[in-house]
Structure 1
Amino acid sequence: MGATGAAEPLHSVLWVKQQRCAVSLEPARAVLRWWRSPGPGAGAPGADACSVPVSEIIAVEETDVHGKHHSSGKWQKMEKPYAFTVHCVKRARRHRWKWAQVTFWCPEEQLCHLWLQTLREMLEKLTSRPKHLLVFINPFGGKGQGKRIYERKVAPLFTLASITTDIIVTEHANQAKETLYEINIDKYDGIVCVGGDGMFSEVLHGLIGRTQRSAGVDQNHPRAVLVPSSLRIGIIPAGSTDCVCYSTVGTSDAETSALHIVVGDSLAMDVSSVHHNSTLLRYSVSLLGYGFYGDIIKDSEKKRWLGLARYDFSGLKTFLSHHCYEGTVSFLPAQHTVGSPRDGKPCRAGCFVCRQSKQQLEEEQKKALYGLEAAEDVEEWQVVCGKFLAINATNMSCACRRSPRGLSPAAHLGDGSSDLILIRKCSRFNFLRFLIRHTNQQDQFDFTFVEVYRVKKFQFTSKHDGVTAQTFPLDGLRFLGSLSDTADIHHRTLEL
């Protein structure tokens, strides 16, 4: 055994799965390591060495060894064995995380307590981890399994991590949003929504709206600078598509999402606001669509009795109808970004594009702060006219199980921009080819009738003055908007 201080490395020879192992904990690197050591000394770590970052340890517990003595000669030498169990994250395939346990057996009680104390002291220093959460559960979304998913897969992990919760099972639409406007949210470290994209949208609107009200920000002003909330939102997927969860975590697995919440992972995201004249209509973090996707959402709302199959039915019906919409798309290019929608660089943890774009945006904001002209005042709007099958704007890839790469594979979560995708009128066959490419590795933008731009503001105006409103899909929800609405992107306003 090495030094006993929490600030110094700790080395011991312990037993794991009836095998003699050298175990080390280096606070400077914050990594727990162990490897087989059959010889008298600790030996050097081999290819079979295991390790887990302290940041991915959920909890450490003293193990009840009563009745767990083993009959092998190795265990007979330990008259009074002591043990502790490390509950941690095990990374699996396809971005999935699993709850794993490793039990370390010690020959002495003092040694066991030393390891427990040292590991617990290191866990207490991880200040980003939540202690008290507000949980909203939608019992109706998706397959109606929200409550069951939370109780079986999430609650045990929260209990293990000593996270206390206040749980609200919603009974009607917008209950989560209304609740966030009314209650004291300062006592919470974060908000968890168990449901689909619609449930997330409710919490998003409630949290952002409450934050702006407290900060005295007029949300109806199109140029208002939104104040980021100090609370994070955690998503436990239990909906139909779970687009936001899939695009940010990489999978729509409840256990994975719960583990990300437990260890305190965070991710800053852009938020789009949609205004008509001087009135805020909605916020969005994923998809703002017009045309094809809006028609699917509108038709599927009438067929909720079909369950998840309604999307397939409405999708086929909308595809066969082949409606086009004539009008003008105006947008401001996002010149501050360092990437492009077709550069093949997806957004990842520690994303270079998001970091560089953030620096460029901060420089623009400093110029505006010192009275210099804002970039928006000197940049020229670009205009595209024509007949469109669909007009989509994505703040993220919008990936899901059916489309693992999403609508815009290289869209970034925190670069202060949105990818504007214009699908011009084309034949049904060509449009089908475009849709199929969302399910494979081919470039869906490689068509003459498809245009994609990285923008920071855009507007669509219909040519037909007689038509004043249209259905938009927005973060999995349907809302009725004007055909001259304007969308702005607010940099890193939300944190997951």
Structure 2
Amino acid sequence: MPSFSTELTLHAFTVHHVQRSKRHHWECNEVTFYCSDHLLCNQWVQALKEQLDSQAMRPKHLIVFINPFGGKQLGKQIYYDKVAPLFRLACITAEVIVTERANHARDHLLEADLAKYDGIVSVGGDGMFSEVMHGLISRTQKNLGIDENYPSAELVPCDLRIGIIPAGSTDCICYATVGANDPITSALHIIVGDSQPIDVSSVHHKNMFLKYSVSLLGYGFYGDTLIDSEKNRWMGPSRYNFSGFKTFLSHHCYEGAVSFLPATETPGSPRDPRPCTAGCHICKYGGDQVKISQKARNLKCIEEEQQQWKVIKGKFLAVNSMNMSCACPKSPKGLSPAAHLADGTIDLILVHKCSRLSFLRHLIRHTNNDDQFDHAFVEVHRVKEFKFTPKYCDEEDSDIRDVGKNLFGQICRDHPSCSCAQLQSSWNCDGEIIKHAAIDVKVHCQLVKLFVRGIEE
């Protein structure tokens, strides 16, 4: 530390900056600069402010939705203690709304004046993010007169970015796009103005829109686990482990047909050894493809496209699709380690009927570095669209509401000796239940942008 004479008057300014900490974590540090000349000091401060103001990607006014009930119910505390002080340092103003009911954020976004915001922040878990995402996508399509119920509709990407402050049980989406579930790290990504587009899948039943999905869409094992966990919400986050164990022991399989359109024009494979990282060239290629005009895409022969569809029939323990790796602290590589955030594809994983021991081996590989697809009963495909059609003992109607009113424990009336006590499962769509077994799924490339940059190597 230098010493100065008492006759010298010092002037100073402090610069707060981002510094990388442990793996994928960021922290806010500060450096103080001293100057003996008051005018020079002010010139430096003014020059720095002008440089910051010129950064168009940095948000200045945000709308923040806080879920006070998610995870350990610490959403408000996390925001006001850790995030709000950083926003104030960065001169970001925020309109804060603490949600009071399910779909509060979605409904607000459908009617709010979004032109005055530079972005939206979700404080909570994956469910809170899903609400915000649904509201933003639906509002964008509504403004442009696009009918979401039309399965083949070309949805228009959203302009506003979404920031995620993790405060839920798993925070899978945050972990899979940042590499850590740390509120300070996520807040700093928002402040810096990072931008990363992500793919979104639309889910339809017949000609009725059901949900959007950005992470896991799972039928069978993950659907049954979610349904059981909803009965045990009093257990908190531990209910997922409890329900998962119960579902594993029940070992139900479901018969049906999966038809899909392979992503033959996209580079990369679900078996690639390298994951999607910041600046991914495969995602860049996907973005370039999006820029191709609709007219050019329509030049493809419809008859030729129909010939590309593949069909797989059988009995499945799980039918899973992922738009991203679905990594989380318990599964650092995720359910599909090589899935990409923004390449316009879905990784479709089919787990055929097998023994409990074999299925356990598959599940264990979610938590280690072994190839989880290296089993005879598991197959994975990179696709653009897929459809699932369940097989029922009574096939007059494919609507689960009509044939599956007593979903659990229902015995086939026509085949009393049959072992399919559960005729159908439900879909786990990013932690929300879809009570339709027959669905159509289509991926929309780079439909939403997040305040992240992807996982850095």
TM-score after normalising by structure 1: 0.83
| 1:408-456 C-alpha deviation (Å, 9 max, x unpaired) | 0100011000000011111111111111111111111111111000000
| 1:119-152 C-alpha deviation (Å, 9 max, x unpaired) | 2111111001111111110000000000000001
Question: Taking every aligned residue pair, what percent have the same amino acid on both sides?
Answer: 58
Higher strand share: 1
Structure 2 equivalent of residue 337 of structure 1: 266
Structure 1 equivalent of residue 325 of structure 2: 397
Distance 1:380 1:430 in 2: 32
After TM superposition, the structure 1 = structure 2 runs for residues 90-105 of structure 1, keeping only pairs within 5 Å, are: 90-105=19-34
Structure 2 equivalent of residue 348 of structure 1: 277
Shift in Å, 1:357: 2.9
Q: How many residues align?
A: 423
2:435 aligns with one of 480, 484, 491: 480
Q: Name the aligned partner's letter for residue 377 of structure 1.
A: E
**TM-aligned CA distance change 1:272 to 1:465, over 3 Å:** farther
Structure 2 equivalent of residue 71 of structure 1: none
Q: Name the aligned partner's letter for residue 344 of structure 1.
A: P
Cα RMSD (Å) of the superposition?
1.6
Contact 2:15 / 2:31 at 8 angstroms: preserved in 1?
yes
Structure 2 equivalent of residue 412 of structure 1: 340
Structure 2 unaligned residues grouped into runs of 5+: 401-424, 451-457
After TM superposition, the structure 1 = structure 2 runs for residues 87-126 of structure 1, keeping only pairs within 5 Å, are: 87-126=16-55
| 1:47-105 C-alpha deviation (Å, 9 max, x unpaired) | xxxxxxxxxxxxxxxxxxxxxxxxxxx23367211111110101112101101111111
Contact 1:336 / 1:361 at 8 angstroms: preserved in 2?
no
Structure 2 equivalent of residue 426 of structure 1: 354
Relative contact order higher in (CA < 8 Å, ≥ 6 apart): 2
Distance 2:434 2:79 in 1: 29
| 1:330-364 C-alpha deviation (Å, 9 max, x unpaired) | 10001121000001221111111111233345448
| 1:196-246 C-alpha deviation (Å, 9 max, x unpaired) | 000111111111001100000011111101011111111100000000111
Structure 2 equivalent of residue 27 of structure 1: none
Q: Name the aligned partner's letter for residue 34 of structure 2.
A: W
TM-score after normalising by structure 2: 0.90
**TM-aligned CA distance change 1:332 to 1:75, over 3 Å:** same
Q: Name the aligned partner's letter for residue 20 of structure 2.
A: R
Distance 1:366 1:76 in 2: 75
Matched, 1:213 2:142: yes
| 1:19-47 C-alpha deviation (Å, 9 max, x unpaired) | 6xxxxxxxxxxxxxxxxxxxxxxxxxxxx
Contact 1:336 / 1:360 at 8 angstroms: preserved in 2?
no
Q: Name the aligned partner's letter for residue 372 of structure 2.
A: Q
Q: Name the aligned partner's letter for residue 45 of structure 2.
A: L
Distance 1:428 1:375 in 2: 42
Contact 2:275 / 2:338 at 8 angstroms: preserved in 1?
yes
Partner of 1:441: helix, strand, or coil?
A: coil
Q: Name the aligned partner's letter for residue 400 of structure 1.
A: C
**TM-aligned CA distance change 1:167 to 1:363, over 3 Å:** closer
Contact 2:286 / 2:445 at 8 angstroms: preserved in 1?
no
Partner of 1:76: helix, strand, or coil?
A: coil
Distance 1:359 1:366 in 2: 15
After TM superposition, the structure 1 = structure 2 runs for residues 21-420 of structure 1, keeping only pairs within 5 Å, are: 74-76=3-5, 79-363=8-292, 365-368=294-297, 371-373=299-301, 377-420=305-348
Structure 1 unaligned residues grouped into runs of 5+: 1-17, 20-73
Distance 2:249 2:399 in 1: 25
